[in-house]
Amino acid sequence: MKKYNIGGQAVIEGVMMKGPDKYAIAVRKPDNDIEVQVNNYKSFGDRHKICRVPIIRGVVNFVESLFIGVKTLMYSADFYEEDEPEEKKVKAQDDKRDKDKESSDTGYMIFTVVISLVIAIGLFMLLPAYLVTFLGKYIESNIILNLIEGILRLLIFIIYVVCISMMKDIKRTFMYHGAEHKTINCLEAGEELTPENVKKHTRYHKRCGTSFLFYVVIISIIVFIFVNTDTVWLRLISRLLLVPVIAGLSYEFIRFAGRSDSKLSYILSVPGMWVQKLTTKEPDLDMIEVAIKSVEGVIDWHEYIECVRNNSFEK
């Protein structure tokens, strides 16, 4: 067996786990059963060499993850549509899998991803850049202005995360997020995936998407310090054009941190894991069971942990 990093995402009452060639969604249904759906996929990196180039691969991976993330959220949401009789819910789930709806679902996913990107870029990139222009009358140094912009960006990000973490439904999703991390940590430690074993592990992980977004903000502060602009529109355009570069650099950092066991990578990862205290919560054993089912849909974890224990992965 080859060694590869499993990634994941919390969904509504469930967990999605993604391997190199497929991803699985496990959802705890209202009747308490666990539904598991496995999907095969081929990443752009496997299909096009250019998508494996450093920096570029980070942008491609981010967009690809967004599409899969939206798709899995839509799937899990189908089990929890409010104010509908059970028969209608079942029919809606069947329709969702029907090929006749694939094109409309794809269109909806594209629309959702585009809107999400527009809101995120506007809120975290363009808004701080615009607000800081009002200080231009009082501060002449572009470096100081850019630093203030970066601090504003970081504050907006932290306030946003704190606000959504207070929502009741989001709290449960963050518990599943914790279950996802604990399960991956248990797997990577070479321990059997039982709810009790998984429960012992930390809910923080160096490759978490929260850490990625946090380092997007941090790296943007560093990059924009060296970008000097004299007008508002040039400042906004420069921020917009550099978003892919910053996302790519952030991905390379997370990739390095996830693959390295050095003390340096751990120290550099600590701030991102601090932020994960807001986006992960301690899960219960039922949630962990769902996360384990999701892993089972992606790999044979028994074989994987044997390779971890014996260090016998294929080169």
Alpha carbon distances (Å) from 4 to 18, 20, 90, 136 = 11, 7, 36, 49
- Residue range 8-15: average pLDDT? 95
- Residue range 22-28: average pLDDT? 96
**Both tokens assigned to 313:** 């992965």
Whole-number pLDDT of residue 47: 85
Whole-number pLDDT of residue 292: 97
- Residue 123: DSSP 8-state: I
43 phi and psi, to 5 degrees? -70, 160
Asked whether the predicted pLDDT for residue 20 surpasses 90, the reply is no
232-259 vs 263-279: helix axis angle to the nearest 10?
Answer: 110
Residues 6+ apart with CB under 8 A from 97: none
Residues 6+ apart with CB under 8 A from 24: 16, 17, 36, 37, 38, 39, 293, 294, 295, 296, 297, 298
**Both tokens assigned to 275:** 């932020």
Residue 254 domain flag: yes
Residue 111 domain flag: yes
Contact 76, 269 (CB under 8 A): no
Residue 99 domain flag: yes
Residue 1 domain flag: no
Residue 185 domain flag: yes
Q: By C-alpha distance, which of 95, 88, 87, 69 is closest to 7?
A: 69
- Residue 36: DSSP 8-state: E
- Residue range 44-73: average pLDDT? 89
Residues 6+ apart with CB under 8 A from 257: 206, 207, 211, 265, 268, 269
pLDDT-wise least confident of 95-99, 135-139, 272-276 = 95-99
First to last CA, the chain: 9
The SS3 call for residue 166 is: coil
Contact 19, 212 (CB under 8 A): no
Name the helix (H) or strand (E) containing 9: strand 7-11
Whole-number pLDDT of residue 102: 55
Contact 265, 253 (CB under 8 A): no
Please count the residues of the chain. 315
Contact 75, 11 (CB under 8 A): yes
Whole-number pLDDT of residue 90: 52
Residue 2 domain flag: no
Residue 315 domain flag: no
Residue 228 domain flag: yes
Q: Rg of the chain's alpha carbons, rounded to an integer?
A: 21
Question: What is the domain count for the chain?
Answer: 1
State the pTM of this model. Answer: 0.88
Q: By C-alpha distance, which of 6, 8, 10 is closest to 176?
A: 10
> Residue 274 is part of which domain span?
7-310
